[in-house]
Chains A and B, each alone.
Chain A
Amino acid sequence: MANTSATPAAAHDQDGSRRDFLFLATGAAVAVGGAFAAWPFVSSMRPDAATIAAGAPLDVDLAPITDGQIVNVFWRGKLIFVRKLTAKEVTDMKAIPLSELSDPAPFDARVKSGHDQWLVVYGNCTHLGCVPIGHQGNFEGWACPCHGSQFDAVGRVRRGPAPINLPVPPYTFASDTKVRIGEEGGKAAA
């Protein structure tokens, strides 16, 4: 220190480099610290522990559901349609060629194998989330009152602005007369 203070130029340089260092170090600390401080605010807006706990799998008894009936259930606050297809609907849906579909999905991908009569799909239109009305429209399925989308008996979009089919939630058949929504392949949904 004694040496450098002897020449003003050298002292200036050293001062400059010290300031640069302090400036960069402070700036880095502020940036990293700011990101750390912001994270709790963002994270607190994500689904909380109680909400996640309330999203556990849901058992639905199929025995009281009759042919052609659509039953509404809620899982994780989301509406789910459980529909028992009639034999005619199964035949009709199987006969539709994939080329007629805007989001092609074969019949087998819409139901669980061995349970052709049972359809389980989310009940909110994939356009903007309205609830389509059952047994309406031209395709034996649903018609959305908001923006005119129509779905067939296995929830495939056939008309209107909905971009994709009604999604199939994770579920398994616990027995022939009971489905467990929110669990698939022995694992609970994330």
Chain B
Amino acid sequence: MSAHATSTYVPKSRIAKWFESRLPLVGLVHGSFIAYPVPRNLNYFWTFGAILSAFLGIQIVTGVWLAMHYEPSAGAAFESVEHIMRDVNYGWLLRYAHANGASMFFLAVYVHIFRALYYGSYKAPREVLYLLGVIIYLLMMATAFLGYTLPWGQMSFWGATVITNILAAIPVVGDSIQSLLWGGYSVGNPTINRFFSLHYLLPWMIAGVVVLHVWALHVTGQNNPAGIPIKSSKDAVPFTPYATVKDAFATVAFMIIFAWFVFYQPNYLGHADNYVPANASVTPAHIVPEWYFLPFYAILRAVPDKLGGVILMFGAVIILAFAPWLDTSRVRSTNYRPVYKVFFWVFVVNAILLGWLGAKPPEGGYVIVGRICTVYYFAHFLLVMPLCGLFETPKALPGSILETVTGPGQTGWDGRQGGQPQDPDKGIPDWAMPDAVKRS
């Protein structure tokens, strides 16, 4: 999408020339997804962007089709969902794909986020790219919450009640926001109406920010497991066929997990309580959010003060946005940071532990462990990230991306490993290199 990557497409037919001179769309796609130089050392963690794009598509398509049968009202919503399950042709497939698609979307986004954190993909010059990702994550959370309320089961209703009460804790404007979300004195028919409208709106906003996210990616170029920039044409391969095929393969492999849930365990990630119609006078015995919100729910419950819990819960997401400036290390990839590497994996375990605690009842030892984990979660960002970068001695970085593939000292292809089919002389042409590389 940036200028350097669009300059090579040469339309051949007269129609293509006519169109290209009026709207250079084909050239844009060619520069972004065909000729675009990709670091040759990318591992499978770099395929999750493509997997996420696929799931955004799946969620939008299944969602649009579900909306043809769903009725967004407090009186009819629950029955219309059962109608979709029992009467509509393949309604069960559309609904199970949509519900489990949301879980797969979050599973993929968590891999994507931890990959960014491990390999320092948030560090200069990719801060804006990373911040756009945090915005997408926030929009995903809002969309998932709104969607979960729509079946109007017990978990839907009480999830909506708990979350709108969270917003009421905001000083000064909280009550007004709550009233505007409810459209009444409590969660009711006006609420489900507007939640449906917003649930339909937000995915398109996500799609818009995804375009910006990909645009920013193609301006700075991809990070890679070595965390060092592309220095010569030998460090890169063209997007097509290399990244295209690898992304497609990983996406299909991920779809096997998705299909297993949809066809064999469609309700495993849900809650049985949501098959009970909403009842405003009884709260389910154990009210828990979907699995992908559990770590934040654990943080909310760890604080014995309402406003404090709400601040820490939102803070746990927002603090992600500050990672580019909290991390003081000059080295991007954690592969070359022996001390931080340990802390990183402790952070991962801590996050998973918070998720487990979020599903436990709020009593006794669970609360105490929850508090310790909450403190550690924030300490990772506020203490470990700044201090580790200052005191740690990183390992020596490889001279080039090529060297990480062929071994040190090998600059040509004679000693290459792993059967790279690319002839270096026919590799990435100079025009396709990022501007920074060309200048040097």
Please give me the residue from chain A that is nearest to B308 by CB atom: A161
Number of B interface residues at 8 Å Cβ cutoff, please give it.
37
The answer to whether residues A145 and B285 also contact, given A48-B183, A51-B184, A76-B184 and a CB cut-off of 8 A, is yes
Q: Does A148 contact B (CB under 8 A)?
A: yes
**What residues on A are CB-neighbors of B261 within 8 Å?**
none
The answer to whether residues A46 and B287 also contact, given A128-B161, A161-B306 and a CB cut-off of 8 A, is no
A132 to chain B: closest CB distance in Å?
Answer: 8
Q: Does B362 contact A (CB under 8 A)?
A: yes
Please give me the residue from chain B that is nearest to A43 by CB atom: B180
**What residues on A are CB-neighbors of B280 within 8 Å?**
74, 77, 79, 131
Is there an interface contact between A72 and B281, defined as CB atoms closer than 8 Å?
yes
Partner of A76, one of B166, B186, B307: B186
Q: Does B301 contact A (CB under 8 A)?
A: yes
**What residues on B are CB-neighbors of A163 within 8 Å?**
305-307
A154 to chain B: closest CB distance in Å?
Answer: 20
Give Cα A102 to B12, complex, Å: 79
Give Cα A124 to B157, complex, Å: 13
A162 to chain B: closest CB distance in Å?
Answer: 7
Please give me the residue from chain A that is nearest to B282 by CB atom: A131
Q: State the majority secondary structure of interface residues on A.
A: loop
A82 to chain B: closest CB distance in Å?
Answer: 13
Give Cα A170 to B45, complex, Å: 58
Q: Does A68 contact B (CB under 8 A)?
A: no
Give Cα A55 to B182, complex, Å: 14
Q: Does B46 contact A (CB under 8 A)?
A: no
Q: Does B423 contact A (CB under 8 A)?
A: no
Q: Does A104 contact B (CB under 8 A)?
A: no
Kindly supply a per-residue 1/0 record for chain A positions 111-134, scoring 1 wherever the CB is within 8 Å of any chain B CB and 0 otherwise.
000000000000110111111000
Give Cα A46 to B191, complex, Å: 11
Give Cα A144 to B301, complex, Å: 13
Q: State the majority secondary structure of interface residues on B.
A: loop
Is there an interface contact between A45 and B186, defined as CB atoms closer than 8 Å?
no
**What residues on B are CB-neighbors of A42 within 8 Å?**
180
Q: Does B34 contact A (CB under 8 A)?
A: no
Please give me the residue from chain B that is nearest to A127 by CB atom: B306
Please give me the residue from chain A that is nearest to B158 by CB atom: A130
Give Cα A72 to B183, complex, Å: 23
Q: Does A146 contact B (CB under 8 A)?
A: yes
Give Cα A160 to B305, complex, Å: 8
**What residues on A are CB-neighbors of B309 within 8 Å?**
161
Please give me the residue from chain A that is nearest to B160 by CB atom: A129
Is there an interface contact between B283 and A78, defined as CB atoms closer than 8 Å?
no
Is there an interface contact between A46 and B306, defined as CB atoms closer than 8 Å?
no
Give Cα A126 to B166, complex, Å: 10
Please give me the residue from chain B that is nearest to A126 by CB atom: B306
Is there an interface contact between A46 and B183, defined as CB atoms closer than 8 Å?
yes
Give Cα A147 to B187, complex, Å: 20
Q: Does A34 contact B (CB under 8 A)?
A: no
Given A77-B280, A130-B162, A161-B306, 11 further pairs, Cβ under 8 A: A42-B180, A45-B183, A77-B184, A129-B164, A145-B284, A145-B287, A146-B158, A146-B162, A146-B287, A160-B304, A162-B306
Chain A interface residues toward B at CB < 8 A: 42, 45-48, 51, 55, 72, 74, 76-79, 123-124, 126-131, 144-148, 160-163
The list of the 4 closest CB pairs from A to B, nearest first, reads: A77-B186, A76-B185, A129-B165, A130-B283
